[in-house]
Structure 1
Amino acid sequence: MTFPPLRPELQGIEPYGAPQLDVPVQLNVNENPYGPSAACIADIAASVARAAATLNRYPDREFTELREALASYLNGDGGQRLVADQVWAANGSNEVMLQLLQAFGGPGRTAVSFAPTYSMYPEYARDTHTRWVTGRREDDFGIDPVAAKELIEEHNPHLILLPSPNNPTGTALPPGVVEMLCDAVGEGIVVVDEAYGEFRRSGTPSALEMLPRHRNLVVTRTMSKAFALAGGRLGYLAAAKEICDAIRVVRLPYHLSAVTQATALAALRHADELLAQVATLRAERDALVEWLRARGHRVADSDANFVLFGTFSDRDAVWQALLDRGVLIRATGPDGWLRVSVGTPAEMMAFKDALVDVTGGDVMEELA
């Protein structure tokens, strides 16, 4: 036996994580480039100070006030009369997803997604001893309903994980595909991961609207992206009360600290000002898609705050050349593709200048 006695299937595996490098332009992990407002920062500081006076006591393990506030927010973004008992939260949507796999996956059970998809999903399955099956997306990164239904009938999964907008492609799923999968999976759980939901284009509905019609549907969100709270680590979901109650069985005691709860509540009080930058980022994203396509790149349609583009015979060389010029993006997704987060206008200009320098050609006039 080797030391330490790590599980055999984990031996030799590198921990998940994008590069964290100190460079001038960091566009690799889909963060919101606009930090919280001064008013929000002051509210968070005051709220955390009040919480600090109670840190000798455990926090509210049901975080009732926060669940009520999250339900209220979601009801303004597609939710249909959600109440606190239909909302659950954890330390980032990563922990929310892991809890879902702990509750509904496990030995002898199967989880399904459609590649390319979020690279952490198979790790959740691995860590919970859940069998992992992936179907394939179409060339436009959509999901073929016929092929998807056949996959479900073949493997009879207990969970289906559907990022929408999809990471790393930015593709949003049509409601009809989600509803078909909810029906096809029977009593299995369909999880629509809307980590980037607030960035969806006008006319793209949230899966929250379907919750009253499908008791096996779960919609997850995060405060990391649109709320500019990646450092706060707060992810959450909306689902039937029975699903939320089931997750409570596997959650660790007092898993959301008093500081985390206070921070999230303060941010929700400032939702309007924090989300005011979402429209700016959408416009910057759409302009970036247009700019890239005008230069002959393939670009996936995006409803997120990032853009997948390509294709390159040696994407790692392009990634390194951009990094050498002070611009960090992500080499992820299908072979030959790269992903860039949407940043400030200055960051986008730095990326464009570096890309033109790397791939050849003159910097053309900005496209409106």
Structure 2
Amino acid sequence: MGTVQSQSIVDVVVTNDSNTDISTISVSSVDDFDWAGGRPYQFNGVFIGANKIVGRRLAINPFASHCPFNMTLHFRNGDIDTFRIHAVGCCGGFQHIQKSHNIYYERGHEKIMIKIENTKEQLQNERAEERNKEGQVAMRKKQYETAIKKFDEALKLAHKSSTITSIKDNKNEACNKHGESLLQKAWELEADKTQDKSQEAQNMFVAAKDMFQQAGIVKHTSEQQENLNLASMKVEGNELFNKAIEVEKAAFEVFETARKSNENDDYKAAENKYKEALNTYEAAKKKFDEGSKIESEKFGDCAQLTNDRIEDVKKVLNGIDKIELTCNISKVAIEERQKEEMKSQVGINRKIQEQVDVAVD
């Protein structure tokens, strides 16, 4: 009689050392001939929590040589790992087909150890998701600067495209919300009549513009784009208006020099400087007029103030024109008088010469 070979027993132990639950396991590519009852299908549908261990005892047909099968791990966060192992045989016995985690395989006497660990990138991505949640909490509390800082930290850590997209969307919202808040504060500062807060308001407008631009790197709705346009027009208009004031001050100094010298060239220099101020005021008014089409109430006062400055400068220029005309008239009169005096002197000299000539004769 022949000898009947008994089946071999192998314990397969799966250790989930990752931070995420394995919601289900699926087994495929099994050759039923290799197995004597306790097949790898025992792992189908098995749940393994984070940092938990699950094992199953498999029975191998005594005539089997390698007993390969595929195991796919489906994680709660959507990650998937698929690997192929050989329960027996002399070959290495492990192939990682679809990789999300680090998976370590060890085959010993009647035992197979499979250990799942997070990769460095996964751990970083988990920290990114934590920062993302912290940013969302800060945003709900209207702590927008803190939220943006959290989202920036998260973006440096994130690896998964879905995580990156979520963080960017949240940062976009935080930047826009912060920009809206800064823009409102800037309007309030500018409207404060108790003291001059124009520079503080301008700084706030610039900060709001920066926030809207940061959000624009991600995406903009039509409303958000309008806010960016408003902030940009206000910042640019204010910068031009402030520059015009400085140029006008410089023009006045040149004009004072001209008054003292009463030289036409000095008046011409003052005129050119005032024209520069006028052009700059007009450029500022153009920005404010553009803003008035969107926010007439908030930009209207700026446009009117700038228009008043334009009219004042025009009056000064008209005055300089009159002074220059007077100077030119005076200059012509002086030149004519000098010519007459020269003619008179020539006549006198001629008579004297004639008298000298007669005396000599």
TM-score, normalized by the shorter chain, greater than 0.5: no
Larger radius of gyration: 2
Larger fraction in helix:
2
Which structure carries more relative contact order (alpha carbon 8 Å, separation 6+)? 1
